[in-house]
Structure 1
Amino acid sequence: MIKVIIDRTVAQGLEKHYDHCLKKSASLMDTATGFLGSETLKDINNPSHRVTVSLWDNVQCWSQWLQSDARRELHSQIDQLLDHEERVVVLSR
């Protein structure tokens, strides 16, 4: 099992658009092979800073989602709403 941490800073004023895109992403991830769940958190001191933690069976399942057409399409929409490129960290025990 692995955890994937995605760290993003949303451009000011675009948080609602980001949240909408993230909901789309979550519904698609639910059908992804090996996806076990996710949680998105807002920074208390900076509501534009968001961190998503997702849980996957293994790195192959995550890679399959990462390279999927659905994720690429959603990411292209999300990317336009960010102040800078997202940071992704994949963790295991």
Structure 2
Amino acid sequence: MIRVLIERNIMDGLDDIYEDAVRSTLQQAISAPGFLAGESMKDSNNSHRRLTLSKWRSIQDWSNWYHSQQRTEIMYKVEPMLSEPEKITILEHA
């Protein structure tokens, strides 16, 4: 089992639009094979910094979702809202 941490920085004034897009992403990821759980959070010290933490059965399941047409279409909407590219960290138990 792995966890995937996605860090994004949102441009000013796009909070509501971004939140809608992230909800859509999580709703679609739920049906992806290997998806176990996910949550979206906001940095309490930086309102522009958003984090999504998801749990996947395997790196392959995550990779399949990451490269899927569904995620690609969502990212076409999300990327213009970002002030810098998203950072993805894959975590596994030591």
Q: TM-score range by the shorter chain?
A: over 0.9
Q: Distance in 1 between matches of 2:84 and 2:32?
A: 26
Moved over 4 A (4+): none
What does residue 31 of structure 2 align with? 31
What does residue 87 of structure 1 align with? 87
Give unpaired runs (5+ residues) of structure 2.
none
Q: Count how many residue pairs are aligned between Structure 1 and Structure 2.
A: 93
Percent of aligned positions with the same letter in both sequences? 33
Which deviations, in whole Å up to 9, do the C-alpha atoms of 1:13-64 show, x marking residues without a partner?
Answer: 0011100101111110010000001111111111111011000000000000
Q: Distance in 2 between matches of 1:36 and 1:47?
A: 27
Q: Distance in 2 between matches of 1:16 and 1:49?
A: 14
SS of the aligned residue for 1:48 comes to strand
TM-score by length of 2: 0.96
TM-score by length of 1: 0.97
**Where in structure 2 are the equivalents of 1:44-63 lying within 5 Å?**
44-63=44-63
Q: Which residue identity lines up with residue 81 of structure 1 in the other structure?
A: M
SS of the aligned residue for 2:47 comes to coil
What does residue 69 of structure 1 align with? 69
> CA offset at residue 7 of structure 1?
0.3
Q: Which residue identity lines up with residue 30 of structure 1 in the other structure?
A: I
Q: Distance in 1 between matches of 2:25 and 2:52?
A: 11
What RMSD in Å do the two structures reach over aligned CA positions? Answer: 0.6
Give unpaired runs (5+ residues) of structure 1.
none
